[in-house]
Amino acid sequence: MKLFFGLLLCCLVMVASCKDSASSDKEIAEVVTIKKPIVTKQFGFNLDEFTVLQDTVRNGDSFGELMLRNKVEYPKIHKISEEFRDTFDVRKIVVGKPYLILKSKDTLEKAQVFIYQNDLINYTVIDLRDSVTAYNKRNKIKYVEREASGVITSSLSEAILEQGIDYNITNNLSQIYAWTIDFFRLQKGDKFKVIYKEKYINDSIYAGAEPIEAAYFEHNGKTIYSFGYETDTINRVKDYYDEQAKNLRRAFLKAPVEFSRISSRYNLNRRIAYYGYKVRPHKGTDYAAPIGTPILATANGTVEESTRRGGNGKYVKVKHNSTYSTQYLHMKNQNVRKGQYVKQGDVIGWIGMTGNTGGPHVCYRFWKNGRQVDPLREELPTAEPLTDALKSDYFAFISPLKDQLDCIEFMQIPEEELLTENQ
Protein backbone atom coordinates (compact mmCIF):
# COMPACT_ATOMS: atom_id res chain seq x y z
CA MET A 1 0.00 0.00 0.00
CA LYS A 2 2.79 2.35 0.90
CA LEU A 3 4.36 1.53 -2.42
CA PHE A 4 1.13 2.50 -4.24
CA PHE A 5 0.92 5.93 -2.49
CA GLY A 6 4.59 6.50 -3.21
CA LEU A 7 4.11 5.88 -6.93
CA LEU A 8 0.96 8.06 -6.98
CA LEU A 9 2.82 10.93 -5.31
CA CYS A 10 5.63 10.61 -7.82
CA CYS A 11 3.20 10.77 -10.73
CA LEU A 12 1.51 13.84 -9.26
CA VAL A 13 4.87 15.58 -8.95
CA MET A 14 5.67 14.74 -12.60
CA VAL A 15 2.25 16.01 -13.78
CA ALA A 16 2.72 19.21 -11.83
CA SER A 17 6.19 19.55 -13.31
CA CYS A 18 4.82 19.06 -16.86
CA LYS A 19 2.09 21.65 -16.19
CA ASP A 20 4.69 24.09 -14.94
CA SER A 21 6.78 23.44 -18.05
CA ALA A 22 3.76 23.89 -20.37
CA SER A 23 2.83 27.05 -18.52
CA SER A 24 6.39 28.27 -18.83
CA ASP A 25 6.44 27.53 -22.58
CA LYS A 26 3.14 29.33 -22.97
CA GLU A 27 4.52 32.39 -21.19
CA ILE A 28 7.59 32.39 -23.45
CA ALA A 29 5.40 32.12 -26.55
CA GLU A 30 3.37 35.13 -25.46
CA VAL A 31 6.40 37.38 -24.99
CA VAL A 32 5.97 40.41 -27.32
CA THR A 33 9.11 41.77 -29.01
CA ILE A 34 9.07 45.57 -29.00
CA LYS A 35 10.34 46.77 -32.37
CA LYS A 36 12.62 49.77 -32.60
CA PRO A 37 10.99 52.74 -34.31
CA ILE A 38 11.87 53.12 -37.98
CA VAL A 39 14.19 56.08 -38.44
CA THR A 40 13.46 58.22 -41.49
CA LYS A 41 16.89 59.15 -42.70
CA GLN A 42 17.55 61.27 -45.79
CA PHE A 43 20.46 63.43 -46.97
CA GLY A 44 22.38 62.25 -43.89
CA PHE A 45 19.81 63.58 -41.36
CA ASN A 46 17.28 61.87 -39.11
CA LEU A 47 14.14 63.65 -40.31
CA ASP A 48 12.21 62.55 -37.19
CA GLU A 49 14.28 65.02 -35.19
CA PHE A 50 12.92 67.98 -37.16
CA THR A 51 9.77 69.54 -38.46
CA VAL A 52 10.22 69.06 -42.19
CA LEU A 53 9.15 71.57 -44.83
CA GLN A 54 9.40 70.15 -48.34
CA ASP A 55 8.67 72.37 -51.34
CA THR A 56 9.95 73.65 -54.68
CA VAL A 57 11.33 77.07 -55.54
CA ARG A 58 8.48 79.24 -56.82
CA ASN A 59 8.36 82.34 -59.00
CA GLY A 60 9.50 85.31 -56.93
CA ASP A 61 11.29 83.18 -54.32
CA SER A 62 14.81 84.12 -53.29
CA PHE A 63 17.12 82.37 -50.86
CA GLY A 64 16.98 85.35 -48.48
CA GLU A 65 13.19 85.41 -48.44
CA LEU A 66 13.00 81.65 -47.82
CA MET A 67 15.36 82.01 -44.86
CA LEU A 68 13.66 85.08 -43.36
CA ARG A 69 10.31 83.33 -43.70
CA ASN A 70 11.73 80.52 -41.57
CA LYS A 71 13.25 82.72 -38.85
CA VAL A 72 16.90 82.80 -39.95
CA GLU A 73 18.66 86.03 -38.93
CA TYR A 74 19.89 88.36 -41.65
CA PRO A 75 23.60 88.17 -40.59
CA LYS A 76 23.57 84.42 -41.25
CA ILE A 77 21.91 84.93 -44.64
CA HIS A 78 24.54 87.53 -45.54
CA LYS A 79 27.36 85.22 -44.43
CA ILE A 80 26.07 82.39 -46.64
CA SER A 81 25.73 84.64 -49.68
CA GLU A 82 29.24 86.08 -49.25
CA GLU A 83 31.39 83.27 -47.83
CA PHE A 84 29.93 80.17 -49.51
CA ARG A 85 29.43 81.42 -53.07
CA ASP A 86 31.70 78.71 -54.50
CA THR A 87 29.62 76.02 -52.79
CA PHE A 88 26.19 77.56 -53.17
CA ASP A 89 25.51 80.70 -55.18
CA VAL A 90 22.27 82.01 -53.67
CA ARG A 91 21.60 84.04 -56.84
CA LYS A 92 21.29 80.91 -58.94
CA ILE A 93 18.46 79.02 -57.28
CA VAL A 94 16.15 77.82 -60.05
CA VAL A 95 12.36 77.90 -60.13
CA GLY A 96 11.00 74.35 -59.89
CA LYS A 97 13.97 72.90 -58.01
CA PRO A 98 12.97 70.98 -54.84
CA TYR A 99 14.30 71.85 -51.38
CA LEU A 100 13.90 70.79 -47.74
CA ILE A 101 14.01 73.00 -44.67
CA LEU A 102 14.56 71.09 -41.43
CA LYS A 103 13.08 73.17 -38.60
CA SER A 104 13.38 72.86 -34.82
CA LYS A 105 10.67 70.86 -33.07
CA ASP A 106 9.50 73.63 -30.79
CA THR A 107 7.13 76.56 -30.92
CA LEU A 108 9.65 78.69 -32.83
CA GLU A 109 10.13 76.15 -35.66
CA LYS A 110 13.33 77.92 -36.68
CA ALA A 111 15.21 76.63 -39.73
CA GLN A 112 18.17 74.45 -38.76
CA VAL A 113 19.19 73.00 -42.12
CA PHE A 114 18.47 73.98 -45.73
CA ILE A 115 18.88 71.28 -48.43
CA TYR A 116 18.74 72.30 -52.09
CA GLN A 117 18.43 69.55 -54.71
CA ASN A 118 20.46 70.54 -57.78
CA ASP A 119 19.23 67.38 -59.53
CA LEU A 120 18.23 63.84 -58.59
CA ILE A 121 21.82 63.00 -57.65
CA ASN A 122 23.52 66.18 -56.42
CA TYR A 123 22.41 68.30 -53.49
CA THR A 124 23.72 71.16 -51.35
CA VAL A 125 23.43 71.33 -47.55
CA ILE A 126 23.46 74.62 -45.64
CA ASP A 127 23.75 73.78 -41.93
CA LEU A 128 22.49 76.81 -39.98
CA ARG A 129 23.08 75.42 -36.50
CA ASP A 130 25.75 77.24 -34.50
CA SER A 131 28.36 78.43 -37.00
CA VAL A 132 27.14 78.14 -40.57
CA THR A 133 28.61 75.41 -42.82
CA ALA A 134 27.89 74.52 -46.44
CA TYR A 135 28.83 71.49 -48.53
CA ASN A 136 27.85 69.58 -51.67
CA LYS A 137 27.06 65.87 -51.64
CA ARG A 138 25.75 63.15 -53.94
CA ASN A 139 23.16 60.48 -53.35
CA LYS A 140 24.45 56.92 -53.61
CA ILE A 141 23.91 55.64 -57.13
CA LYS A 142 23.35 52.10 -58.33
CA TYR A 143 24.34 51.45 -61.95
CA VAL A 144 22.40 48.85 -63.93
CA GLU A 145 23.68 47.76 -67.34
CA ARG A 146 21.07 47.61 -70.05
CA GLU A 147 21.05 46.33 -73.62
CA ALA A 148 18.58 47.43 -76.29
CA SER A 149 18.02 46.97 -79.99
CA GLY A 150 15.53 48.17 -82.55
CA VAL A 151 14.47 48.18 -86.17
CA ILE A 152 13.42 51.53 -87.65
CA THR A 153 9.78 51.54 -88.75
CA SER A 154 9.02 55.26 -88.59
CA SER A 155 11.80 57.15 -86.81
CA LEU A 156 14.74 56.53 -84.50
CA SER A 157 13.04 58.26 -81.57
CA GLU A 158 9.88 56.14 -81.89
CA ALA A 159 11.89 52.92 -82.17
CA ILE A 160 13.62 53.79 -78.89
CA LEU A 161 10.59 55.12 -76.99
CA GLU A 162 8.53 52.04 -77.90
CA GLN A 163 10.87 50.00 -75.69
CA GLY A 164 10.65 52.39 -72.75
CA ILE A 165 14.24 53.54 -73.22
CA ASP A 166 15.31 56.95 -71.91
CA TYR A 167 14.81 59.56 -74.65
CA ASN A 168 18.33 60.87 -73.99
CA ILE A 169 19.63 57.67 -75.57
CA THR A 170 18.09 58.88 -78.85
CA ASN A 171 20.07 62.11 -78.64
CA ASN A 172 23.22 60.28 -77.59
CA LEU A 173 22.96 57.82 -80.49
CA SER A 174 22.32 60.60 -83.00
CA GLN A 175 25.32 62.54 -81.67
CA ILE A 176 27.63 59.52 -81.94
CA TYR A 177 26.66 58.93 -85.57
CA ALA A 178 26.05 62.60 -86.48
CA TRP A 179 29.07 62.58 -88.81
CA THR A 180 28.50 59.23 -90.50
CA ILE A 181 24.71 58.76 -90.80
CA ASP A 182 22.19 61.17 -92.31
CA PHE A 183 19.28 60.76 -89.89
CA PHE A 184 16.99 62.64 -92.26
CA ARG A 185 17.30 59.80 -94.77
CA LEU A 186 16.91 56.63 -92.72
CA GLN A 187 16.21 53.55 -94.84
CA LYS A 188 13.68 50.74 -94.58
CA GLY A 189 14.82 48.29 -91.93
CA ASP A 190 17.75 50.26 -90.53
CA LYS A 191 18.78 48.69 -87.22
CA PHE A 192 20.61 49.60 -84.03
CA LYS A 193 21.94 48.04 -80.83
CA VAL A 194 23.16 49.85 -77.73
CA ILE A 195 24.82 49.05 -74.41
CA TYR A 196 24.52 51.64 -71.65
CA LYS A 197 23.95 51.99 -67.91
CA GLU A 198 20.91 53.34 -66.06
CA LYS A 199 21.30 55.16 -62.74
CA TYR A 200 19.09 54.51 -59.70
CA ILE A 201 18.92 56.16 -56.28
CA ASN A 202 17.91 53.90 -53.38
CA ASP A 203 17.57 51.03 -55.89
CA SER A 204 14.24 52.38 -57.16
CA ILE A 205 14.34 56.06 -58.14
CA TYR A 206 15.38 56.38 -61.78
CA ALA A 207 18.06 59.05 -62.20
CA GLY A 208 18.79 58.96 -65.93
CA ALA A 209 21.12 57.13 -68.29
CA GLU A 210 24.87 57.24 -68.63
CA PRO A 211 26.43 57.92 -72.07
CA ILE A 212 26.30 54.95 -74.45
CA GLU A 213 29.22 52.56 -73.94
CA ALA A 214 28.97 50.74 -77.26
CA ALA A 215 26.62 50.80 -80.23
CA TYR A 216 25.94 49.21 -83.59
CA PHE A 217 24.04 50.87 -86.42
CA GLU A 218 23.09 49.26 -89.70
CA HIS A 219 22.17 51.94 -92.24
CA ASN A 220 21.31 51.18 -95.86
CA GLY A 221 23.12 47.85 -95.58
CA LYS A 222 26.29 49.36 -94.08
CA THR A 223 27.25 48.42 -90.51
CA ILE A 224 29.03 50.87 -88.21
CA TYR A 225 30.25 49.94 -84.73
CA SER A 226 31.05 52.59 -82.14
CA PHE A 227 32.84 52.29 -78.81
CA GLY A 228 33.25 55.05 -76.24
CA TYR A 229 36.92 55.23 -75.26
CA GLU A 230 38.73 57.65 -72.95
CA THR A 231 41.85 59.00 -74.60
CA ASP A 232 42.56 61.22 -71.57
CA THR A 233 41.69 59.50 -68.29
CA ILE A 234 42.71 62.51 -66.18
CA ASN A 235 40.37 65.00 -67.87
CA ARG A 236 37.86 62.23 -68.78
CA VAL A 237 37.99 63.02 -72.51
CA LYS A 238 35.95 60.40 -74.37
CA ASP A 239 35.46 59.91 -78.10
CA TYR A 240 33.82 57.20 -80.19
CA TYR A 241 35.78 54.94 -82.53
CA ASP A 242 34.84 52.02 -84.77
CA GLU A 243 36.15 48.45 -84.63
CA GLN A 244 39.23 49.50 -86.63
CA ALA A 245 40.06 52.37 -84.22
CA LYS A 246 38.92 55.05 -86.68
CA ASN A 247 37.37 58.14 -85.12
CA LEU A 248 33.65 58.40 -85.96
CA ARG A 249 33.72 62.13 -85.44
CA ARG A 250 34.28 64.42 -88.39
CA ALA A 251 35.41 68.01 -88.52
CA PHE A 252 31.84 68.87 -89.61
CA LEU A 253 28.39 67.76 -88.46
CA LYS A 254 26.16 66.31 -91.17
CA ALA A 255 23.52 68.98 -90.50
CA PRO A 256 23.08 72.21 -88.51
CA VAL A 257 19.72 71.17 -87.01
CA GLU A 258 18.86 68.05 -85.01
CA PHE A 259 15.88 65.90 -86.14
CA SER A 260 14.87 68.16 -88.99
CA ARG A 261 14.23 67.32 -92.64
CA ILE A 262 15.75 68.49 -95.89
CA SER A 263 13.16 70.58 -97.71
CA SER A 264 15.39 71.62 -100.61
CA ARG A 265 18.78 70.31 -101.68
CA TYR A 266 21.77 71.97 -103.30
CA ASN A 267 20.78 72.23 -106.99
CA LEU A 268 22.56 74.35 -109.62
CA ASN A 269 19.81 73.63 -112.22
CA ARG A 270 16.79 74.53 -110.11
CA ARG A 271 13.87 76.17 -111.96
CA ILE A 272 11.08 78.04 -110.15
CA ALA A 273 7.62 78.79 -111.60
CA TYR A 274 7.51 82.19 -109.88
CA TYR A 275 10.53 83.28 -111.95
CA GLY A 276 9.16 81.90 -115.23
CA TYR A 277 10.98 78.57 -114.85
CA LYS A 278 14.30 80.28 -115.40
CA VAL A 279 17.34 78.57 -113.92
CA ARG A 280 17.82 79.87 -110.38
CA PRO A 281 20.68 77.89 -108.80
CA HIS A 282 20.18 76.91 -105.16
CA LYS A 283 23.62 76.78 -103.60
CA GLY A 284 22.45 75.76 -100.15
CA THR A 285 20.72 72.88 -98.37
CA ASP A 286 17.45 73.82 -96.65
CA TYR A 287 16.52 72.18 -93.35
CA ALA A 288 12.88 72.78 -92.39
CA ALA A 289 12.04 72.98 -88.69
CA PRO A 290 9.70 74.92 -86.38
CA ILE A 291 10.47 78.56 -85.63
CA GLY A 292 12.80 78.77 -82.62
CA THR A 293 14.58 75.45 -83.25
CA PRO A 294 18.29 75.82 -82.33
CA ILE A 295 20.77 76.12 -85.20
CA LEU A 296 24.17 74.54 -84.45
CA ALA A 297 27.64 75.41 -85.66
CA THR A 298 28.69 72.39 -87.70
CA ALA A 299 32.38 72.85 -86.84
CA ASN A 300 34.77 74.90 -84.72
CA GLY A 301 35.56 78.34 -86.10
CA THR A 302 35.38 82.13 -85.84
CA VAL A 303 32.24 84.12 -86.65
CA GLU A 304 33.02 86.11 -89.78
CA GLU A 305 29.57 87.76 -90.11
CA SER A 306 26.49 88.04 -87.90
CA THR A 307 24.15 90.48 -89.57
CA ARG A 308 21.05 90.95 -91.73
CA ARG A 309 21.14 91.47 -95.47
CA GLY A 310 18.52 91.33 -98.25
CA GLY A 311 17.05 87.96 -99.12
CA ASN A 312 19.40 86.19 -96.69
CA GLY A 313 17.59 87.77 -93.74
CA LYS A 314 19.41 87.38 -90.45
CA TYR A 315 22.39 85.09 -90.88
CA VAL A 316 25.72 83.95 -89.47
CA LYS A 317 28.85 83.02 -91.41
CA VAL A 318 31.64 81.05 -89.74
CA LYS A 319 35.22 80.68 -91.02
CA HIS A 320 36.61 77.30 -89.92
CA ASN A 321 40.07 77.41 -91.52
CA SER A 322 41.73 78.49 -94.75
CA THR A 323 39.71 75.88 -96.68
CA TYR A 324 36.20 75.77 -95.19
CA SER A 325 33.47 78.28 -94.23
CA THR A 326 29.75 77.79 -93.53
CA GLN A 327 26.74 80.13 -93.59
CA TYR A 328 23.31 79.87 -91.93
CA LEU A 329 20.46 81.99 -93.38
CA HIS A 330 16.92 83.16 -92.46
CA MET A 331 17.44 83.09 -88.68
CA LYS A 332 14.87 84.40 -86.27
CA ASN A 333 17.75 85.75 -84.19
CA GLN A 334 21.50 85.25 -83.96
CA ASN A 335 23.16 84.02 -80.77
CA VAL A 336 26.74 85.04 -81.64
CA ARG A 337 28.62 88.18 -82.65
CA LYS A 338 31.33 88.89 -85.21
CA GLY A 339 34.79 87.77 -84.05
CA GLN A 340 33.43 85.24 -81.54
CA TYR A 341 34.95 81.74 -81.48
CA VAL A 342 32.37 78.93 -81.61
CA LYS A 343 32.73 75.22 -81.06
CA GLN A 344 31.05 72.42 -82.94
CA GLY A 345 27.49 72.01 -81.66
CA ASP A 346 27.21 75.50 -80.14
CA VAL A 347 23.84 77.21 -80.68
CA ILE A 348 24.55 80.14 -83.01
CA GLY A 349 20.93 81.15 -83.69
CA TRP A 350 17.35 79.94 -84.09
CA ILE A 351 15.18 78.91 -87.05
CA GLY A 352 13.16 81.80 -88.46
CA MET A 353 11.63 83.25 -91.63
CA THR A 354 13.65 86.42 -92.21
CA GLY A 355 14.57 87.38 -95.78
CA ASN A 356 13.15 85.57 -98.82
CA THR A 357 11.58 82.37 -97.51
CA GLY A 358 8.29 80.56 -97.89
CA GLY A 359 8.48 78.77 -94.55
CA PRO A 360 10.59 78.33 -91.42
CA HIS A 361 13.96 76.77 -92.25
CA VAL A 362 17.70 77.37 -92.28
CA CYS A 363 19.53 77.55 -95.59
CA TYR A 364 22.91 75.95 -94.90
CA ARG A 365 25.68 77.02 -97.27
CA PHE A 366 29.09 75.40 -97.44
CA TRP A 367 32.28 76.90 -98.89
CA LYS A 368 35.40 75.00 -99.90
CA ASN A 369 38.35 77.04 -101.15
CA GLY A 370 36.05 80.03 -101.69
CA ARG A 371 33.49 78.13 -103.79
CA GLN A 372 30.04 76.98 -102.64
CA VAL A 373 29.69 73.18 -102.80
CA ASP A 374 27.20 70.50 -101.76
CA PRO A 375 28.25 69.37 -98.23
CA LEU A 376 26.30 66.10 -98.60
CA ARG A 377 28.56 65.08 -101.48
CA GLU A 378 31.82 66.17 -99.86
CA GLU A 379 34.23 63.72 -98.25
CA LEU A 380 34.56 65.71 -95.04
CA PRO A 381 37.81 65.56 -93.02
CA THR A 382 37.89 63.36 -89.93
CA ALA A 383 38.83 64.34 -86.41
CA GLU A 384 42.14 63.29 -84.87
CA PRO A 385 42.64 59.50 -85.09
CA LEU A 386 43.54 57.28 -82.18
CA THR A 387 47.30 57.31 -81.59
CA ASP A 388 49.29 54.14 -82.28
CA ALA A 389 50.35 54.04 -78.61
CA LEU A 390 46.72 53.56 -77.52
CA LYS A 391 45.56 51.10 -80.17
CA SER A 392 46.56 47.86 -78.43
CA ASP A 393 44.77 48.94 -75.25
CA TYR A 394 41.75 50.05 -77.31
CA PHE A 395 41.41 46.70 -79.12
CA ALA A 396 41.61 44.82 -75.80
CA PHE A 397 38.99 47.18 -74.34
CA ILE A 398 36.44 46.78 -77.15
CA SER A 399 36.80 43.01 -77.67
CA PRO A 400 34.25 41.92 -75.01
CA LEU A 401 31.94 44.83 -75.90
CA LYS A 402 31.88 43.83 -79.56
CA ASP A 403 31.10 40.21 -78.61
CA GLN A 404 28.29 41.48 -76.39
CA LEU A 405 26.85 43.63 -79.19
CA ASP A 406 27.00 40.74 -81.65
CA CYS A 407 24.99 38.58 -79.25
CA ILE A 408 22.13 41.09 -78.88
CA GLU A 409 19.18 39.98 -81.01
CA PHE A 410 16.94 42.35 -82.94
CA MET A 411 13.24 42.55 -82.23
CA GLN A 412 11.15 40.86 -84.92
CA ILE A 413 9.20 43.49 -86.88
CA PRO A 414 6.46 42.52 -89.39
CA GLU A 415 7.47 43.50 -92.93
CA GLU A 416 4.38 45.68 -93.40
CA GLU A 417 5.44 47.90 -90.48
CA LEU A 418 8.80 48.76 -91.96
CA LEU A 419 9.46 52.00 -93.80
CA THR A 420 8.29 52.08 -97.39
CA GLU A 421 10.16 55.25 -98.26
CA ASN A 422 13.12 57.28 -97.11
CA GLN A 423 12.57 59.58 -94.17
Q: How confident is the model at residue 16 (pLDDT cuts 50, 70, 90)?
A: very low
Q: Is residue 254 one of the residues assigned to a domain? A: no
Per-residue model confidence as pLDDT tens digits over 297-328: 998 889 999 999 998 999 999 998 888 999 99
Mean pLDDT of 60-65: 92
Per-residue model confidence as pLDDT tens digits over 75-86: 999 999 999 989
3-state SS class at 238? strand
State which H helix or E strand residue 188 sits in: none
Q: How confident is the model at residue 34 (pLDDT cuts 50, 70, 90)?
A: low
Q: Is residue 188 one of the residues assigned to a domain? A: yes
Q: How far is CA 346 from CA 34, 300, 326, 356, in A?
A: 62, 9, 14, 25
Q: What is the dihedral of CA 50, 51, 55, 58, to 10 degrees?
A: -110
Q: Is residue 83 one of the residues assigned to a domain? A: yes
Q: What is the dihedral of CA 380, 296, 315, 286, to 10 degrees?
A: 60
Rounded to whole angstroms, the Cα distance separating 411 from 113 reads 51
The answer to whether residues 105 and 79 belong to one domain is yes
Angle CA 157–161–165, to nearest 5: 115
Number of domains in the chain: 3
The answer to whether residues 237 and 152 belong to one domain is yes
Per-residue pLDDT at 7 exceeds 90? no
Q: Name 34's Cβ contacts closer than 8 Å, sequence gap at least 6.
A: none
Range from 157-161, 258-262, 324-328 that averages highest in pLDDT: 324-328
Domain enclosing residue 173, as ranges: 142-249+404-417
The answer to whether residues 364 and 307 belong to one domain is yes
Per-residue model confidence as pLDDT tens digits over 329-356: 999 999 999 999 998 889 999 999 999 8
In contact, 263 and 287? CB cutoff 8 Å: yes
Give the per-residue pLDDT at 190.
87
The answer to whether residues 274 and 356 belong to one domain is yes
In contact, 330 and 353? CB cutoff 8 Å: yes
Better pLDDT: 213 or 161: 213
Of 138, 159, 183, the one marking the end of a domain is 138
